[in-house]
């Protein structure tokens, strides 16, 4: 109620002026000067615009007030034009209905009716924006209403007093509200949750910075993305986004975001610093130097030291590659990666190439796969060169060589073609493609001739391929197969030796060499290869059988009695001292089971049978101490069962009354 004698119009006018005060809850923009709308991200960042149907005025802080088609009283227009009007401390979500029945709401409504009746003849004179029951214009973007894509939505008054709020999708719409609701239990503080739905870019950015400092880079990135959406022309938002992407390991996206920041602010120290650091990680020293030493900027000393170390190692690596010093290439490329270029596909490729030339094929294959993954995710850098090759062509060229060495010829041709497509004018890529195609063609022709039973012609075809790739282990092994079919055992062994020199673990080469040595009566060499294969191919019955046959043949060649030697889970039974001494002196490892006829052997024998089948390269003996007192006395056997393991006549292990697990572990240890 008005006081007696007080003019009602003047009082209501004062109340409206107080409600629309310019100084209430104005954002602090001294460190974040944005010339963009806080209500609509789709409108251009401009200071003002007008049309015949209404007006839009931008203030210094970037806020705008839309009048639309509503008639606004001149008195109200003076107050709200060009500024963002809010009520201090008053925040209301879009899902919370206003309280129309509070005393303050009733009083404010009465005051507005009285003011409207005197100052304006129109009934629809409320200013546009979110009008609270108190009559104050709410802060834009705080509400969370579902809106149609790309359109302004005016409320119909069902839940908003007056003519509702102007809300745009993507800034204050349902997407942000959903995120805020989903984050309710993630430990975020209230200020961060407010920032998730805020349209104040400074508030969003500062909340993102707080999350970044706490190591919550995913959440910080979401807020930085929101800040970029609110004001896409601000370089600071994009630099913050790039920093979060870097911490998340998304280096290619981070690089693009820094580059976008530089387009908006070419002298941005943060963007240049960030790009310099990223280019060091990519091994791109020239680009890193250009950004770190940008005119007018002081380079970071830590990054500068990294740059100098990486540059030194790359220079040494380049010089070593020119003269074929692959050990130095390997060590220097590894040192460059350790110094800071941990995401350089080129330096990792150099490690793979050095490993290939050092005949470490499995290692080279593993390394080049990692380089290819980095190469796929790294930013386009077709103008850069490394060792005289354009950026990506080097990785594909080395991959082609690795694939060819491992016999994956189709993949090798594909990779060589990619390298040549990227850098068609380079002599090295063209030579590699020609070599790979020639070797693949020779291998295909040789295989066809071999399958047709034309072994001599197949030998010649594989030989043609070796003219282009003199160290290819697959071609040597294939030609060895032809030689073995022709009964040329010495030549078979020679080609297998060449294949194993390049690829020491080549299974087929080991098999063919072991068989060829057996044909020539070189049983010791044959047993040695079969023992390696037995470890590599555990469970292969053919290899196990070939090994046992070779062992028996080796014993016979040394004059040992093999009439009682058996295979497949049985033992040699010892009946005299001389036989025992000869047996434990055999080549390889001997496991001796000292037992007595009265011994309860049910628990030991099954495990021994199993072990003899699993480890056929070992010799298993059985000694009955009651029947052989001389042996038991000499070996000091007092308790049975006792197991002793001998290696060339020397006892290396003794186990008394072991469990099956302990016995198996000991036998496995000495079978390697």
pLDDT digits (tens, 9 = 90+) for 473-494: 999 999 999 999 998 999 999 9
Cα-flanking dihedrals φ and ψ of residue 236, to 5°?
Answer: -65, -40
Give tens-digit pLDDT for 387-438. Answer: 777 767 889 999 999 999 999 999 999 999 999 998 888 898 999 999 999 9
Q: Average pLDDT, stretch 146-153?
A: 33
Q: Are residues 133 and 53 in the same domain?
A: yes
Is residue 354 assigned to a domain?
Answer: yes
Query: How far is Cα 75 from Cα 508, in angstroms, rounded to an integer?
Result: 95
Whether residue 465 contacts residue 482, with contact meaning beta carbons closer than 8 Å, is answered with no
DSSP assignment letter at 657? S
pLDDT at residue 141 in the model:
38
Q: Provide the CATH number for the domain around residue 618.
A: 3.40.30.10
Q: Are residues 475 and 622 in the same domain?
A: no
Q: Are residues 492 and 547 in the same domain?
A: yes
What confidence category does residue 44 fall into, taking pLDDT thresholds of 50, 70 and 90? Answer: very low
pLDDT at residue 111 in the model:
52
Q: Are residues 516 and 585 in the same domain?
A: no
- Is residue 597 pLDDT above 80, yes or no? no
Tokens of 552: 């028996």
What is the layout of strands, in order, in the sheet containing 642-647? 572-574, 619-624, 589-595, 642-647, 650-656
Give tens-digit pLDDT for 543-579. Answer: 888 888 888 888 777 776 555 454 443 467 888 888 8
pLDDT at residue 329 in the model:
95
In percent, how much of the chain has pLDDT > 90? 38
Whether residue 369 contacts residue 415, with contact meaning beta carbons closer than 8 Å, is answered with no
Contacts 24+ apart (CB under 8 A), 518-526: 518/546, 518/550, 518/553, 519/489, 520/489, 520/490, 520/493, 521/557, 523/550, 523/553, 523/554, 523/557, 524/554, 524/587, 526/550, 526/553, 526/554
pLDDT at residue 426 in the model:
87
Q: Are residues 388 and 497 in the same domain?
A: no
Is residue 277 assigned to a domain?
Answer: no
Per the model's pLDDT, the better-predicted residue between 60 and 141 turns out to be 141
Is residue 222 assigned to a domain?
Answer: no
- Is residue 246 pLDDT above 70, yes or no? yes
pLDDT at residue 96 in the model:
40
Going by C-alpha positions, the residue among 536, 480, 492 that lies closest to residue 517 is: 492
Going by C-alpha positions, the residue among 380, 383, 377, 308 that lies closest to residue 348 is: 377
- Lowest pLDDT segment from 163-167, 374-378, 639-643: 163-167
H-helix segments, 214-250: 217-230, 235-247
Quote the domain boundaries for residue 392: 344-456
Q: Are residues 96 and 6 in the same domain?
A: yes
Domain boundary among 399, 432, 456: 456
Is residue 641 assigned to a domain?
Answer: yes
Is residue 205 assigned to a domain?
Answer: no
Q: Are residues 41 and 124 in the same domain?
A: yes
Is residue 336 assigned to a domain?
Answer: no
Is residue 11 assigned to a domain?
Answer: yes
Is residue 444 assigned to a domain?
Answer: yes
Per the model's pLDDT, the better-predicted residue between 132 and 642 turns out to be 642
pLDDT at residue 556 in the model:
76
Cis preceding-peptide flag for 121 (omega within 30 of 0): no
Q: Are residues 540 and 571 in the same domain?
A: no
Domain boundary among 556, 586, 620: 556
Domain boundary among 154, 172, 190: 172
Give tens-digit pLDDT for 152-184. Answer: 332 333 333 333 333 333 443 334 444 444 444
What confidence category does residue 455 fall into, taking pLDDT thresholds of 50, 70 and 90? Answer: very high
Q: Give the distance, in angstroms, between the CA of residue 41 and the centroid of all CA atoms in the same chain.
A: 34
H-helix segments, 93-234: 103-119, 174-182, 190-197, 201-213, 217-230
Residue 439 pairs in a beta bridge with none
Q: Are residues 355 and 389 in the same domain?
A: yes
- Is residue 237 pLDDT above 80, yes or no? yes
Count of domains in the chain? 4
Q: Are residues 606 and 552 in the same domain?
A: no
Query: How far is Cα 353 from Cα 327, in angstroms, rounded to an integer?
Result: 11
Per the model's pLDDT, the better-predicted residue between 444 and 52 turns out to be 444
Q: Provide the CATH number for the domain around residue 373.
A: 1.25.40.10
| Spatial CB neighbours of 403, under 8 Å, sequence gap ≥ 6 | 409, 411, 412, 415
pLDDT at residue 43 in the model:
38
- Is residue 375 pLDDT above 70, yes or no? no
Q: Per the confidence metrics, is the pTM higher than 0.85? A: no
Burial environment of residue 156 by CB neighbours within 10 A (0 to 12, 13 to 18, 19 or more) = exposed
- For tokens 């790294």, name the residue: 378
Q: Are residues 2 and 98 in the same domain?
A: yes
DSSP assignment letter at 385? E
Q: Kindly report the number of other CB atoms within 10 A of residue 487's CB atom.
A: 10
What confidence category does residue 306 fall into, taking pLDDT thresholds of 50, 70 and 90? Answer: very high
Give tens-digit pLDDT for 9-34. Answer: 444 444 444 443 434 333 333 344 43
Query: How far is Cα 344 from Cα 403, in angstroms, rounded to an integer?
Result: 21
What confidence category does residue 151 fall into, taking pLDDT thresholds of 50, 70 and 90? Answer: very low
Q: Are residues 360 and 426 in the same domain?
A: yes
- Lowest pLDDT segment from 107-111, 527-531, 544-548, 614-618: 107-111
- For tokens 């401009």, name the residue: 46
589-595/619-624 β-pairing: parallel
> Each residue of 347-368: b (16+ CB within 10 Å) or e?
bbbbbbbbbbbebbbebbbebb
């Amino acid at each position: 109620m008005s006081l007696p004698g007080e003019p009602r119009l003047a009082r209501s006018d004062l109340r409206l002026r107080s409600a629309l005060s310019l100084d209430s809850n104005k954002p602090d923009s001294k460190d974040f000067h944005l010339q963009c709308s806080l209500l609509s991200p789709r409108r251009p960042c401009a200071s003002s615009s007008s049309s015949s149907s209404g007006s839009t005025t931008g203030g210094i802080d970037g806020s705008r007030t839309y009048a639309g088609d509503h008639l606004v009283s001149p008195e109200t227009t003076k107050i709200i034009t060009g500024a963002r009007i809010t009520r201090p401390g008053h925040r209301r979500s879009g899902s919370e209905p206003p309280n129309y029945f509070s005393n303050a709401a009733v009083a404010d409504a009465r005051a507005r009716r009285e003011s409207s009746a005197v100052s304006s003849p129109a009934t629809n004179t409320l200013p546009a924006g979110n009008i609270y029951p108190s009559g104050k214009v709410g802060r834009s973007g705080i509400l969370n209403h579902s809106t149609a894509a790309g359109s302004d939505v005016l409320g119909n008054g069902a839940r908003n007093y007056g003519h509702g709020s102007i809300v745009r999708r993507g800034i204050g719409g349902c997407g942000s509200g959903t995120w805020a609701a989903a984050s309710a239990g993630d430990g975020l503080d209230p200020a961060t949750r407010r920032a998730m739905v805020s349209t104040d870019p400074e508030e969003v950015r500062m909340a993102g910075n707080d999350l970044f400092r706490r190591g919550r880079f995913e959440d910080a990135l979401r807020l930085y993305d929101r800040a970029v959406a609110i004001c896409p022309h601000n370089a600071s938002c994009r630099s913050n986004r790039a920093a979060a992407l870097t911490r998340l390991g998304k280096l290619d996206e981070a690089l693009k975001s820094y580059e976008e920041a530089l387009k908006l602010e070419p002298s941005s120290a943060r963007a240049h610093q960030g790009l310099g650091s990223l280019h060091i990680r990519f091994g791109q020293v020239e680009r890193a130097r250009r950004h770190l030493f940008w005119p007018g900027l002081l380079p970071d000393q830590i990054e500068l030291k990294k740059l100098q170390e990486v540059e030194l190692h790359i220079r040494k690596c380049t010089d070593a590659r020119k003269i074929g010093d692959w050990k130095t290439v390997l060590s220097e490329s590894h040192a460059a990666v350790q110094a800071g270029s941990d995401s350089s596909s080129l330096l990792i490729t150099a490690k793979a190439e050095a490993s290939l030339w050092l005949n470490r094929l499995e290692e080279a294959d593993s390394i080049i796969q990692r380089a290819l993954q980095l190469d796929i995710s790294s930013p386009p850098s077709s103008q850069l060169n490394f060792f005289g090759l354009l950026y990506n062509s080097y990785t594909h060229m080395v991959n082609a060589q690795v694939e060819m060495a491992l016999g994956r010829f189709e993949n090798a041709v594909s990779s060589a073609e990619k390298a040549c497509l990227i850098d068609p004018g380079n002599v090295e890529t063209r030579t590699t493609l020609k070599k790979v195609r020639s070797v693949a063609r020779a291998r295909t022709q040789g295989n066809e001739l071999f399958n047709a039973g034309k072994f001599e012609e197949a030998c010649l075809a594989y030989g043609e391929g070796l003219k282009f790739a003199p160290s290819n282990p697959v071609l040597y092994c294939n030609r060895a197969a032809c030689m073995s079919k022709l009964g040329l055992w010495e030549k078979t062994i020679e080609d297998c030796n060449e294949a194993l020199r390049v690829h020491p673990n080549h299974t087929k080469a080991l098999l063919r060499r072991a068989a060829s040595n057996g044909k020539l009566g070189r049983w010791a060499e044959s047993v040695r290869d079969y023992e390696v294969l037995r470890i590599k191919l555990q469970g292969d019955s053919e290899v196990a059988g070939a090994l046992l046959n070779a062992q028996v043949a080796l014993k016979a060649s040394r004059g040992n009695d093999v009439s009682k030697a058996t295979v497949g889970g049985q033992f040699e039974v010892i009946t005299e001292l001389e036989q025992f001494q000869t047996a434990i002196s055999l080549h390889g490892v001997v496991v001796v089971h000292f037992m007595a006829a009265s011994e309860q052997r049910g628990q030991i024998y099954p495990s021994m049978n199993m072990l003899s089948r699993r480890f056929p390269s070992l010799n298993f003996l059985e000694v009955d101490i009651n029947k052989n007192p001389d042996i038991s006395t000499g070996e000091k056997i007092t308790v049975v069962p006792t197991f002793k393991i001998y290696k060339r006549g020397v006892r290396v292990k003794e186990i008394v009354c072991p469990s099956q697990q302990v016995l198996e572990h000991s036998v496995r240890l000495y079978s390697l």
